Amino acid sequence: MLESVIYILTNIPLLMKGVWMAVQITVLSVLLGMVIGIAVAFLRIYGSKNMRRLVSFYEWVFRGIPQLVLLFIVYFGLPGIGINLSPFLCVVIGLGLCSSAYQAQIYRGAILSIGSEQMEAGLSLGLSKTRTLFYVILPQAVRLSLPGFTNEFTIVLKDSPLAYAVGIAEILKYGRDLIVSSFRPFEIYLAAALIYFVLFQLFYYLFKAIASRYQVPGYIISGE
């Protein structure tokens, strides 16, 4: 038992390299998902009828397709039509596209729940439409989407080990390398799980702290 703990501790630096990779994948995928997600949310609300149909189909497809299948389409499929991307980029695109569909729903829900009266109130004060958007709508929309965003971030974090399937050196890969020489799969995968658990909690409480920092009475944004 003690021996196992010491073994894991001595190899923590190696596993930490994997942690850095997991964080990079997660953050970049979420950012890609955010950019596309915001665009999709706006198109779904303000777009023409055909555009709305198109983006809701987009949401349906990328919420439904398994991340791993999308990852394989990008990683194994695209080279067949002459597009060669690095494995890292493939993972970010795969996870990011899936996340964009979920994030679009979060932002759309937030924008819709603010209600048209807020925009009218802004205009009635003599603010322009853009100013109302920036000073009235956005500050509320950001607060309203924080719980959903936090949830989505942790989901992407939990999906990030799928990068293992295209050979990226993240926590599981380094773990596997260690097992080849030490034959201690039980301890190493347990340690991997614990590392992810700590990461998960870390980000969860980080976002919770951000949420409570910007808490305004009337918006429940730091809840479960």
Partner 1 sequence: MSFFAVLPKYLPDLAHGLWLTIALTLIAAALGFLLSVPLVLALLYTKGIPRMLARLFITLVRGTPLLVQLFFIYYGIPALGIRIQPFNAALIGFILNSAAYQAEYLKGGFMAISSEQMEAAYSIGLSKWQAVRVVIFPQAFRFAIPALSNEIIYLVKYTSVAYVIQVPELLSQAKFFASDTFFHLQIYFLIGVVYLLLIWVVSKLSDMLEHKLHIPGFDIAHLR
Binding footprint of partner 1 on the chain (CB under 8 A):
60-61, 64-70, 72-73, 76-81, 157-162, 164-165, 171-172, 175, 179, 183-190, 192-193, 196-197, 200-201
Q: How many CA atoms lie within 13 A of 124 on its CB side?
A: 6
Of 12 and 68, nearer to partner 1 (C-beta) is 68
DSSP string for residues in 45-87: HHS-HHHHHHHHHHHHHHHHS-HHHHHHIIIIIGGGGT----H
Of 45 and 190, nearer to partner 1 (C-beta) is 190
Instruction: Kindly report the length of the chain.
Output: 224
Place of tokens 């729903």: 105
Nearest approach in angstroms of CB 116 to partner 1 is 19
Q: How far apart are CA 89 and CA 36, in angstroms?
A: 16
Of 42 and 72, nearer to partner 1 (C-beta) is 72
Nearest approach in angstroms of CB 117 to partner 1 is 20
177 burial via Cβ count (<10 Å: 0-12, 13-18, 19+): middle
Of 61 and 121, nearer to partner 1 (C-beta) is 61
Nearest approach in angstroms of CB 104 to partner 1 is 16
Answer yes or no: are the C-beta atoms of 28 and 96 closer than 8 Å.
yes
Q: How far apart are CA 215 and CA 120, in angstroms?
A: 24
Nearest approach in angstroms of CB 81 to partner 1 is 7
> What six digits make up the tokens of 184?
């201690």
Nearest approach in angstroms of CB 101 to partner 1 is 12
Nearest approach in angstroms of CB 162 to partner 1 is 6
Of 76 and 134, nearer to partner 1 (C-beta) is 76
Of 128 and 201, nearer to partner 1 (C-beta) is 201
Q: What is the CA radius of gyration of the chain?
A: 21
The contacts of residue 214 (CB under 8 Å, 6+ apart) are 143, 146, 221
